[in-house]
Homo-oligomer: A and B are copies of this chain.
């Protein structure tokens, strides 16, 4: 049993780390969803806001990537 309990903690922690991925998913969905709602109302303005769309997605996605990193670290590094 030596080490088994610590192993268990790693695996539960890695699973829990996906909560961050879920939250980032909500955030990214909010960015892209609002872009689409606005772009379909005023399509001529959409190309000018494309850069902001990707900035917003990148910042929200980064938080999900950090969570993914924590899950990977828990499974393979610590």
Please give, as numbers and ranges, the residues of chain B lying within 8 Å of A28 by CB-CB distance. 25, 27, 29, 31, 56, 59-60, 63
Contact B39 A52 (CB under 8 A): yes
From 28 to 78 in chain A, residues with beta carbon under 8 angstroms from any chain B beta carbon are 28-43, 45-46, 48-50, 52-53, 55-57, 59-64, 66-68, 70-78
Determine how many copies of this chain the complex contains.
Answer: 3
Contact B11 A74 (CB under 8 A): yes
Q: What are 6 inter-chain pairs, A to B, with CB distance below 8 A? A: A18-B70, A18-B71, A25-B64, A28-B29, A34-B37, A76-B78
- Interface on A for B, CB 8 Å cutoff? 1-43, 45-46, 48-50, 52-53, 55-57, 59-64, 66-68, 70-78
